[in-house]
């Protein structure tokens, strides 16, 4: 299977994880699904192209991050009945900031000097 084919299964796996954390108390706007897919498909494909497909090795860690994304979306949605695009963008920002810090700490990504 090529990375372009495999990434769709991986995204489905991750959407399942996000849904787990969101639970049934809120729904999601369809444009959020579209936005998250476009964003993370590109990120994942890049990672798979550069580092190879290590999904089975990384799955536990990445789906845990997916659940964290769902938790942050739930937090930012507050009283709103559904997770909208603004909420999703805030949640993604939280999660990606955390991932960047982990990568820098682990020496996988260069430190961004001047950023706190």
Partner 1 sequence: MNTQEPRISIHTGIATRSDATVTSALVDSTSPVNALELERQVDYIMDECLFALGQAVGMRTTIDYDAVVWIRDNYRAKFLSAMKAFGDRWQRDRSNVTSVAMMLGERAVRYSEGKPSIDLDSVLKAAADVERHCELHARRTARKMGLNPSDAAATRIAGYWCNF
Choose the stretch contacting partner 1; rule: CB under 8 A; options: 17-25, 46-54, 89-97, 103-111.
Answer: 17-25
* Burial of 84 from C-beta contacts in 10 A (0-12 / 13-18 / 19+): middle
Q: Which is nearer to partner 1, 58 or 94 (CB)?
A: 58
Question: Pick from 3, 59, 94, 98: which binds partner 1 (CB under 8 A)?
Answer: 59
Of the residues 30, 57, 107, 116, which one makes contact with partner 1 according to CB under 8 A: 30
Residue carrying the six token digits 């659940």: 67
9 binds partner 1 (CB under 8 A): yes
Residue number with CB closer to partner 1 (59 or 100): 59
Q: Is 13 in the site for partner 1 (CB under 8 A)?
A: yes
User: Over 16-33, what HEC string results?
Assistant: HHHHHHHCCCCEECHHHH
**Nearest one of 55, 61, 66, 69 to 17, comparing CA atoms:** 66
């Amino acid at each position: 299977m090529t990375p372009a084919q495999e990434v769709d299964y991986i995204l489905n796996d991750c959407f399942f994880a996000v849904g787990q954390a969101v639970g049934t108390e809120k729904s999601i706007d369809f444009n959020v699904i579209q936005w998250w897919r476009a964003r993370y498909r590109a990120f994942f494909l890049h990672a798979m192209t550069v580092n190879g497909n290590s999904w089975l090795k990384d799955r536990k860690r990445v789906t845990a991050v997916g659940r964290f994304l769902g938790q942050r979306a739930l937090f930012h949605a507050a009283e709103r009945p559904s997770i909208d695009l603004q909420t999703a963008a805030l949640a993604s920002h939280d999660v990606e900031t955390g991932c960047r810090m982990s990568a820098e700490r682990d020496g996988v990504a260069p430190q961004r000097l001047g950023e706190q």
